[in-house]
């Protein structure tokens, strides 16, 4: 199983809503990542978890709150988002060392209205 599963595939939320994005993998990977991708742009790293601990926060606004409840799951909690936060949110996982494959999920298309 080389799959990273993200749910939901699409999400529309208002600026006062609270929602969560979910990511799951069963490859035994101990590094998991959240990326944000705007149209026609490369993915931008948001957060890295290594061994279930937050290793990198790329100065992401606090309205995005990551959580890694166990080695297979990664969540991204959303609150009070802005329309400019609308994007494709990608989850990825890998072994923690640098020379191995990183697998991406299919993404969640988020629209903030």
Partner 1 sequence: KNQVEQSPQSLIILEGKNCTLQCNYTVSPFSNLRWYKQDTGRGPVSLTIMTFSENTKSNGRYTATLDADTKQSSLHITASQLSDSASYICVVTLNTGFQKLVFGTGTRLLVSP
Binding site residues, partner 1, CB under 8 A: 4, 6, 31, 33, 40-43, 45, 48, 50, 55-56, 88, 90, 92, 94, 96-107, 109
Minimum Å gap between C-beta 80 and partner 1 is 25
**Closer CB to partner 1, 53 or 83, in the complex:** 53
**Closer CB to partner 1, 16 or 39, in the complex:** 39
- Picking from 83, 48, 41, the residue whose alpha carbon sits closest to that of residue 63 is 83
Minimum Å gap between C-beta 58 and partner 1 is 10
CA dist., res. 36 & res. 22, Å (int): 14
**Closer CB to partner 1, 16 or 59, in the complex:** 59
Minimum Å gap between C-beta 31 and partner 1 is 6
Asked if 49 contacts 66 with a C-beta cutoff of 8 angstroms, the reply is yes
Write the CA distances from 8 to 32, 62, 101, integer angstroms: 18, 21, 24
Quick one: 72 exposed, middle or buried, by C-beta within 10 A (0-12, 13-18, 19+)? middle
**Closer CB to partner 1, 73 or 80, in the complex:** 73
């Amino acid at each position: 199983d080389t799959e990273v599963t993200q749910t939901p595939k699409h999400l529309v939320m208002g600026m006062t809503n609270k929602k969560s994005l979910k990511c799951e993998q069963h490859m035994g990977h101990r590094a998991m990542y959240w990326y944000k991708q705007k149209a026609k742009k490369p993915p931008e790293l948001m957060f890295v978890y290594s061994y279930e601990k937050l290793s990198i926060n790329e100065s992401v606004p606090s309205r995005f709150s990551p959580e890694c409840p166990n080695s297979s799951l990664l969540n991204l909690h959303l609150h009070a988002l802005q329309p400019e936060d609308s994007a494709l949110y990608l989850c990825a996982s890998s072994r923690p060392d640098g020379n191995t494959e990183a697998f991406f999920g299919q993404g969640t298309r988020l629209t903030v209205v």
